[in-house]
Amino acid sequence: MTARLLDGRAIAAAIRESVLPDVHAFTARAGRPPGLGIVLVGEDPSSEIYVRNKVRAGTESGLWVDLQRLPADASLDALLALVSRLNASDAHDGILVQSPLPSAMGKSAAQQVFDAIDPAKDVDGFHPVNVGRLVQGRAHLMPCTPSGVIEMLTRNHIPIGGTRAVVIGRSEIVGKPMAMLLLQRDATVTICHSKTPDLPAVAASADILVSAIGRPGFVTPAFVKPGATVIDVGISTVTDASIASRLFAEGSARLADFTRRGSVIVGDVHPSVADVAGALSPVPGGVGPLTIAMLLKNTVTAAQARLPV
């Protein structure tokens, strides 16, 4: 069996297209475009790429994107003061603080910052108020990556209700909200993590398997029920030639790519899973573009909710 590839770029383009009329209507009514404030602390190379893509996508969709940078040695107080200014600004409808934050800010920094963002502007959906609403099934702003996965499933007509779903990973930003969104759509959901015994057997019970752990090629065919849908959320940069050759066949285009560049972006799912799964989201070109599309959608939703009735 060769899995159907779930093209995240095409779905992301359709979502971005669908928000354009709302962006134009908002801009006409408010006299300004929806505004997204993005805060980037330091110069983490992956974060630089993610933020650049978010700024570009937002600008192309007609949003006003305000990138605010702080140096890597900025204090947590300085970051919280910036968030507070963006909360008070009329022109910023959405606020996103790119993680990870520099480790010098302390272990609880990300939580403190997410807690400080006005829930009405929390386009990442990480504020406890929005998490609570998500758990109760009445979320207004939902975390972008899991809601992008739901879009990927529904737009590909993959049924969720009545299926068994397994989510590998239990982070606040992906695993837990992912499980909640699947549960709300009537899947029977199991969440796995690093202490789960016999993980391959649990995973192999899934009709829908979502992996969000950040371990290159961790999910092998032994984890996959034949015909299952496999969604690969993981993104890792591989620079080790022995890992690249474990993942990609001799003579394959991906291995040639690695040899040329010295690195390659990979997911959690081993490419050989394509022989077992019924449908598979690729990395790159799967969930990543959807995350950005859902961020734009959330920004427009937040902007519309701030308009006076």
Q: What is the nearest approach in angstroms of ligand NAP to the Cβ of residue 249?
A: 23
Structure tokens at 158: 């993959």
SS3 of residue 193 by DSSP: coil
Structure tokens at 146: 């899991």
CB-based burial of residue 152 (10 Å sphere; 0-12 exposed, 13-18 middle, 19+ buried)? buried
β-bridge partners, 40: 69
Q: What is the nearest approach in angstroms of ligand NAP to the Cβ of residue 175?
A: 5
Q: What is the nearest approach in angstroms of ligand NAP to the Cβ of residue 88?
A: 29
Nearer Cβ to ligand NAP (163/291): 291
Nearer Cβ to ligand NAP (131/233): 233
Q: What is the nearest approach in angstroms of ligand NAP to the Cβ of residue 286?
A: 7
Select from 51, 83, 79 the least CA-distant residue to 67. Answer: 51
Q: Interface residues with ligand NAP (CB under 6 A)?
A: 145, 168-171, 173-175, 192-195, 199, 212-215, 233-236, 287-288, 291
Q: What is the nearest approach in angstroms of ligand NAP to the Cβ of residue 8?
A: 9
DSSP 55-92: HHHHHHTT-EEEEEEE-TT--HHHHHHHHHHHHH-SS-
Nearer Cβ to ligand NAP (98/301): 98
Amino acid identity for residue 50 in this structure: Y
Helices (H), 185-252: 199-203, 241-247
DSSP 146-182: HHHHHHHHHHTT---TT-EEEEE---TTTHHHHHHHH
Amino acid identity for residue 273 in this structure: V
Nearer Cβ to ligand NAP (65/233): 233
Q: Please, what is the Cα angle at 195 between 194 and 201, to 5 degrees? A: 85
Q: What is the nearest approach in angstroms of ligand NAP to the Cβ of residue 292?
A: 8
Structure tokens at 112: 């403190």
Q: What is the nearest approach in angstroms of ligand NAP to the Cβ of residue 173?
A: 5
Q: Please, what is the Cα angle at 273 between 207 and 183, to 5 degrees? A: 25
Nearer Cβ to ligand NAP (157/195): 195
Nearer Cβ to ligand NAP (26/218): 218
β-bridge partners, 97: 39
Strand 264-266 to strand 236-238: parallel, antiparallel, or no bridges (unpaired)?
antiparallel
Nearer Cβ to ligand NAP (45/308): 45
Residue nearest to ligand NAP (CB): 214
What is the set of active-site residues?
54, 98, 124
